[in-house]
Structure 1
Amino acid sequence: MFLSRLRIRAKLTLLVLIPLAAMIALVIPTVRGLVADAEKADGVNTVVSIAGRVGPLLEDLQRERLLSIGYLLDVVGEDDVALQTAAVTDRVRDVQRDVGDLLPAELRDDIAALDGLEDIRQKVRERTVGPVGVITAFDPVLEKIIESLALDADADAGTSTGRQLIALDALLRLDEEGNERSVLLAMMAAGDVERLAVEYREVGARFKTFTERFDAFAEPDQRELNDLAIKALQDRLSTDFDARFALDPERTMATQPLATLFPKLRSLSAVGGFAKKRIVDDVTAAVADQRRQQLTIAYGMGALVLLVLLAVLALVALVARAVAVPLTRLSRAAERVAEAGETELQRIADDETETVEPVHLEVLDLDSQDEIGDLARVFARVQTTATQLVERQVLSRRNVAEMFGHIGRRTQNLVGGQVDLIDELENEETDPDRLAKLYRLDHISNRLRRSADSLVVISGAEREESHSTPVRLIDTVRLALAEIEEYTRVDVNVPLDLLVAPSLVSDMVLICGELLENATTFSPPHTRVTVSARAVPGGAQLTIADHGIGMLDDRLDEENARIARRERLDLVPTQVLGLFVVGRLARRHGMAVELSHTPGGGVTVQVSISSALLAGDMLASELLVSEQIPVRAPVAVEWATPQSAPPMMPPVTVPAGPAPSAYRPDPVPYVDGGRRPNVREAISRVSDVMSDPLTWNGFDVAPQLPAAPPVVQMPPPATTPPVAPPSPAAPSSPAAPSSPNGLRRRVPGSHLSAEPADRPAIAAQLTDTDADAARLLVEQLESGVARALHDNTIPYRQ
């Protein structure tokens, strides 16, 4: 129902809305009518003002017409006509300047057409035109101007203002007919009475009609002024002039010589202007008074309606306050409880710096004994219960996060002990098959360590950073490869000159491990996973691309959104837990991670690393230390009979160039990146690498390295009992085999001279040495190589 959806204030407002609407509906038309009348009065005032400025122009034109005829009849001088013509020109200019913007278009054109009288004026000065020609030229112009004023077009005879406009229009026409009678009298006094008498009677009839119209609409004082003008004409001609003219026009005009009649007619031309000026002033004052009264009434009614409306609204507010305020407080308290619950439900679990504020709810102190008071007391109990539930939920969630952190750290400690134990077993094991299984077990332990690290990240706790110096980005990728199962399917193409800041190394290894695990898990076994990196403006970009089953567009957008935004852990599906960890670490360090489609199928992940997370612009090959670092000499490893173990080669010191103090690292704990299951292949790779002071690429990476390594001169080894070599010497230039990816594989001893005399003497042949001692030597060499992969204190070749 409609009323059930309204609030208390709305219902009370609706109660008074109908009478208010009725009152407004009645007042608005009245106010609009008053305003319209005021605007109409303003328009009437404009029209009257224009008529007041155009009226003198008409008088000047009528006077010029009379003087021009007097000049042609030789009763007026040329100077009088010229002065009157100049007065007309000045009057036209004044009208156009003062009210030119207010003039109607038709009236503006008629006034502008007065310039066309210049031709008749020139003919009058030259006396090439008669009085009839002057009348023919001036009469149409005067009549057009009077018609263009249109004073009686919209005049309302029922109003005082409208009657004044009609009277003014009649007076203008009356004055024109009177001036035309004066012109005809002057012409008849000069002769030709018989022809002009008929026209004089017609003009007199029109004069009488307009006089009656004026008397019907004008005010009494206005009629008196007009009567005075008419009486002045009769006094100058004689009181019975019209009666005698009707009986005998020629005899009557014979009694009026032109020399004495024309000055009387000239003086009468200014009498009509007094009545016009009086009417204009009266109409202007009446219109202003009417407009003021109408606006006052309109404003008064509007103000009254507004006051009534405000009074009603204030009354509604006072009445509603007693009911609405308690209910509003209850609503706010309920909203506060709901917000506290929603905040807890929507709280994102990956905020490592989360601080939970205690919930402060509004205390309801309503003491009323009505239904609203009962509702308030019941709601207070509900509010207290809800607060306890929210606080308990917060505590429970915090405890779960701490439990994850404890489990993760405990697992890390157990895995660390397990890896140490496996290393001891590997060092004591001689059987190749069992040693391979131990390597696999070691690799599985590293994968378990990654899972423990993920648990610590999920708990929101800070991970311990085990690196204090910058690490090459390629080394972080290698460390991540050691923590996934199918690391042999990964191709790495990362430049050597990208260094990762120490604070990012551990988290970057975990990010790469999770992304590589997803890439190898969700792609066929026969496909390859590519890891590449490049420097970009503002940092570096790491790309991991697989050619697996890929994702749908909707699922891809969902995962990108999950990585970019904070996500609740309890709503995250278990199959995307790795992406959850990646997203949390990326947001923690301000990195951008984006998933996209791989051309041909699969998923490509791009990780954008900002320049603040990189160790400056220094190349990895420039990261040198000033200390002298012990390294092992290259040896040629051969299988020997189990008699006696050869001694280890003595360490030699290789001086290193000075390094900047900002990048002088401390020794870093050795992190085992996993072992190859093939023992003989591992030993062969160890022997191969030890022939060169550079580190070897443990995952088939092809870095760009200088061609010629420096030669390390080894001291003569300790003497041992000579033993016979088990086989003839190898050829001087063996062919270099190629790896599956087309890279040339080093052959032990291929860089040494073919002359036996030029080579340093080998400590002893291993034919009579003990097998356990030989295995121990190989294991130590392999451990040193693996340590070199993860220890940045060893200088790189320039």
Structure 2
Amino acid sequence: MLAIPLSATVLFAGWGVVSAGLQGRGADRLQSLVAVSAAVGELVDELGRERVTAAELVSSARGSANPLLEQVARTDRVVGEYRQRRGRFGASDRDAERLLAPFDGQLMRLPGLREQVRDRSVSRTAVLVRYRVAISLGLAVRESVSQVGGADGQVADLLRVAAALSRASEYTGIQQTAVLAAGGGVLTQALQQELAGARAGYDEALLTVTQRSSARWRSWLDQALSGPEVLAAQRVDDVVTRSRVGSRLRVDVDEWARVSAQRRERLHAVQTRVDADIAAEVSQRRAEQWATTGVLSGAALVLVAVAGVLAFRQGRALTSRLRRVRDAVTGMAAVDLPDLVRRVSVADPANPAAMPPAPAALAAAGAGRDEVDEVTAAFDTLAAAVYRIAIDLSRQRRVAAGAVEAVGRRCQGMAHRLLRELDLAERDEADSRTLATFFRLDNLAAQLQHATQSLLVLSGRSLGAVHPEPVALVTVAQAALSRIQEYRRVVSGAIDERVAVPPALIDDLVHLLASLLDNATRYSPDEVVVTGHLLGDRVIVQVTDTGSGIEPELLRRLNSELADPAPMIEWSTFAGRAWPRWRCWRRHMACGCGCCQGGRVARSRRSRFRPASSWSRPRRRGRCPGARWRAGGHPAPALRPLMSPPRRPRGPRAGRRRRRGVSSHGCRIPWTRRPRYCRSSRRHVRRGVWTR
């Protein structure tokens, strides 16, 4: 979120620095072009002097070449300076190349022209034309520097003044060479036009200098164009101007050459001072531009640094807040809300004091809230909605559990009355067929009682039966057999007779074993074997069948649900039978005292369920009342098991009267598994153990 404004700041700062740098480079380029222009002005002046000398040498058959050689040396020195300044512009600067290339080409042709002049193998007119072309290209360079260099209006006017001074000097040189070429002869029409054009160009150049230059420069020009030599040149110029075509020029050629050269030198002196002022002005502006660039660069760096520091601090603060919100929301989703839902599920919605408080708000209270606080407030709203939904679901579960309990209690009462009536009918019945029918009805009633108890287990209530003393494990197993339909396929294996079940666990263990045996007989084609034996101070109860087993994914899911049971398990887990078993196991076989660790459903080739259980003495305060399953099939630690139950009095009349098909502890036994019934002795018990 902070990267966008920081990137924009860096972008604009970089753009400003780059723009200022480009302007600084433009100032450097303009300074170099001004220096080249000044060198071109010097070179143009030297070429004008060389032109006069070359014309005199060509015109005179006996003239000496030394003046020309001296002038060529001075010209070459200026050419070297020009080329040194010209070398700052490479081939990449195409505008400068296009501007300077023609003038460079003319300079490269000068050595050949000089050789021709020294040999006098060229005419005076050709010499004047070729020098005039080179000088005109140099003047074009000076006039175009402001445009190529991108100078502003003020500097461009200064450069135009300097170029105008060079033109004025050149027009003076043209007049000088034209009069020298006439040599005091007849004034022709072409010569008159040439002189008139040079005079007009000279006046126009001086007018440009006067209009565009400063007062100081005008004063320099006025001083340069005053004096006896200038007045003499003006008088000679007036004589030439008043001369008519066809008349002889009444002008002293030597005097004309001297005064013209003097005027040119004065104009060149002004030009040199003007070029120096222009160079100083451009250098000052360049320095100011680079100073501005440095200031802008420093300000941009400071701005970027400040923005980076602020973004870093804001980013750290924002990241810290987001991490705190993430940790708080993760903790709420992983720990707080599930724990709150569990506490709400076990609390009584009708009692507000028993309900846990609503989850604490994560968002800070206050008017100035930002987006992070709004997101946190949204999570607070979600948590409050979950809390309300949990309360509503708990209330609905309570109502549903009450309805299921009411139906279960009524069905349980009806089942008890049905069993009581069947016991009364069986008591004095002697017919074996009728007794077999009663036994079948008795088994159906036991199955009905088992289903009714499942309803009570679903409602979360106890089964309601109370037993005064422990019962042998073999009796509990036989009672469980009496509550299933396919009891004939169950084989009671080796069950240790020394193990007794505490009173608080009898009904729940009978219900649990009945559910397991019913499941085994439903999904196993062969017989089901139930065994129970001691293992140290533990008791292992195994129900072995030959069913198809459980799919690995379902097995993993069941083990996870047993390890961390939720308030509700999907109803279709075991076709509607897993939930009652789990509730029954959860209430007694794995108590909520903190010492129980859950259970595990094991899978093997021959067994469908292999619960490991242990039983201890009757419950004490603060101790685990019964056995439980443990993940991995290993029994959990418990107290020492109760050994064989106390020996019963022998004979049917010892103690209270027992009903047929019911043990002394009130557990019903299926008629096929009941002890042999002897009418003569009416004995059911031998040595305190039920006989088959």
TM-score norm. by structure 1 comes to 0.36
TM-score norm. by structure 2 comes to 0.41
Q: Is the radius of gyration larger for structure 1 or structure 2? A: 2
